[in-house]
Amino acid sequence: MAKAFKNPFRPGAGHMPPYLAGRDLEFREFKRLLEQEIILENLILTGLRGVGKTVLLETFKPQAMAAQWLWVGTDLSEASSVTEENLATRLIADLAVVTGQLVIAEEELPAFGLSRHSQTVQQTLGYEALSFIYQNTPGLVADKLKAVLETSWRYLQLTGKRGVIFAYDEAQNLADHAGDKQYPLSLLLDLFQSIQKKNIPFMLALTGLPTLFPKLVEARTFSERMFRVITLDRLNEKESEQAIVKPISDSHCPVRFSDPLVERVIEMSGGYPYFIQFICREMYDIIIQKIVRGDDDTLLVRSEEIVQKLDNDFFAGRWGRATDRQRDLLMVIAELDDPDNEFTVQDIVETASRSLENPFSPSHVNQMLSAMCDRGLIYKNRHGRYCFAVPLFGQFIKRQKRGR
């Protein structure tokens, strides 16, 4: 019986959890965006890694399709935004997924040879046709893409669909490259603003780390009015409990978590969905092994071993990106009263002056924080304060310091 019911918890990057807890407010807000007749707001889902941005975006997809929207998109790799042409190729390839079955012309070929019947050949609006429009439209990349999108909508609106949602995960990879005179991020914003002003219902849905929206505003100030930003945070205690208990509530499940064990998971995970899935999966396997061995003490689970595995699987790779001096700085940050919240350069300098023989100057801290932002360890919010880009990173750093 213990082997028949598989471990339901799925701690993977973007893997759908067995039960999606919370997020009711986010679903209502997305429903409001879907009801727009003219696209005045696009969507940004942002938050730290592990809060469930990718999962929520995937959950939005069937909701959008049920409301008669078409859905295209993928992960935005850094290669997609190296040049404007790369971004154009990405958009055309994605759009072709929903336009490829649209017939735009028919040609009847006369009978020849042994055939007594003529043949009808259909031309569809697939990738080759969209690329032909792009290549044969004069002007800049933006002009060419506008022609592709406008032509596509002329045929798509005949299907009765409300519009198309272009959904892109990891959108913080978008960037302009002034040194190379390539502006793919600005191109994307200009393109959709122009299309939407023409009442063409093509909507952007972007997910990314907290650096995403500031990058958009820096590229085009009108981005502040163009997007509805939804920031995902950790689950509250009730939502966390649901995420833990619901997946094992099936009558065939051989495992039950006691109330103290549920409380321990909530405390260890901090309410972050990824950590809940990771910890619960480990606890489930440990309890199953105890059941198989006939151990009556199934409720005793050593959380230290699970934390060590979480450190190795999730945090260690990020910690390895930092230099020795950067690690010293990170350990100073971990000494702050609330290191997993916002902090300033001044906070770090004052704490370092009390704890280090060789403290940091403000200019040195600024330089190092900038370098760690590039490595994805820190991010700077719009108020000029800094935060860890990884949830519960401060607790991990404290464990590293104790292990020295």
pTM comes to: 0.86
CA distance 155 to 174: 29
pLDDT for res 120: 60
CA distance 119 to 297: 75
> Residue 1's pLDDT band (boundaries 50, 70, 90)?
very low
Lowest mean pLDDT among 6-20, 83-97, 324-338: 6-20
Nearest one of 345, 339, 324 to 398, comparing CA atoms: 339
Nearest one of 10, 28, 32, 29 to 20, comparing CA atoms: 10
> Tokens in use for 95?
């759009």
pLDDT for res 355: 81
The pLDDT tens digits of the residues spanning 40-71 come to 999 999 998 888 899 999 999 999 999 999 99
The rounded mean pLDDT for the chain is 88
Residues paired with residue 379 on neighbouring β-strands, in sequence order: 387
Helix H or strand E segment including 106: strand 103-109
pLDDT value at 109 more than 60:
no
Q: Which residue has the higher pLDDT, 297 or 263?
A: 263
pLDDT for res 300: 52
* Interval 328-352 mean pLDDT: 90
Residues paired with residue 177 on neighbouring β-strands, in sequence order: 182
Inter-helix orientation angle 84-99/184-197, to 10°: 40
Q: Which residue has the higher pLDDT, 387 or 111?
A: 387
pLDDT for res 106: 63
Q: Tell me, what DSSP letter sits at residue 381?
A: -
Query: Which 3-state string (H, E, C) describes 161-219?
Result: CCEEEEEEECHHHCCCEHHHCECHHHHHHHHHHHHHHCCCCEEEEEEECCCHHHHHHHH
Residues paired with residue 105 on neighbouring β-strands, in sequence order: 123
* Interval 123-132 mean pLDDT: 92
Nearest one of 155, 149, 159 to 104, comparing CA atoms: 155
pLDDT value at 84 more than 70:
yes
Q: Tell me, what DSSP letter sits at residue 110?
A: P
pLDDT for res 192: 97
> Residue 231's pLDDT band (boundaries 50, 70, 90)?
very high
pLDDT for res 111: 55
pLDDT for res 263: 92
> What per-residue string of b and e applies to 109-125 under the rule 16 or more CB within 10 Å gives b?
eeeeeeeeeeeeeeebb
The pLDDT tens digits of the residues spanning 319-339 come to 998 999 899 999 999 999 888
The pLDDT tens digits of the residues spanning 166-184 come to 999 999 989 899 989 999 9
> What per-residue string of b and e applies to 210-243 under the rule 16 or more CB within 10 Å gives b?
bbbbebbbebbeebeebbebbebebbeeebbbbb
Q: How far is CA 67 from CA 23, 71, 100, 367, 380, in A?
A: 19, 11, 21, 48, 37
The pLDDT tens digits of the residues spanning 176-215 come to 999 899 999 999 999 999 999 999 999 999 999 888 998 8
Q: Are 39 and 196 a contacting pair, CB within 8 Å?
A: yes
Lowest mean pLDDT among 163-172, 290-299, 387-396: 290-299
Q: How far is CA 355 from CA 326, 329, 342, in A?
A: 15, 11, 20
% of the chain at pLDDT higher than 90: 56
* Cβ neighbours of residue 363 closer than 8 Å, sequence gap 6 or more: none
Q: Which residue has the higher pLDDT, 232 or 13?
A: 232
Q: Which residue has the higher pLDDT, 384 or 323?
A: 323
Q: Are 393 and 387 a contacting pair, CB within 8 Å?
A: no
* Interval 264-273 mean pLDDT: 92
* Interval 281-294 mean pLDDT: 83
pLDDT for res 41: 96
> What per-residue string of b and e applies to 72-108 under the rule 16 or more CB within 10 Å gives b?
bbeebeeebbbbbebbbebbbebbbbbbeebeeeeee
pLDDT value at 97 more than 90:
yes
Q: How would you classify residue 14: left for phi > 0, otherwise alpha for psi between -120 and 50, otherwise beta?
A: left
Q: Are strands 227-231 and 386-388 parallel, antiparallel or unpaired?
A: unpaired
Q: How far is CA 313 from CA 11, 50, 306, 318, in A?
A: 11, 13, 10, 10
pLDDT value at 362 more than 80:
yes
pLDDT value at 128 more than 80:
yes
How many Å from the N-terminal Cα to the C-terminal Cα in the chain?
Answer: 44
> Tokens in use for 381?
């919010």
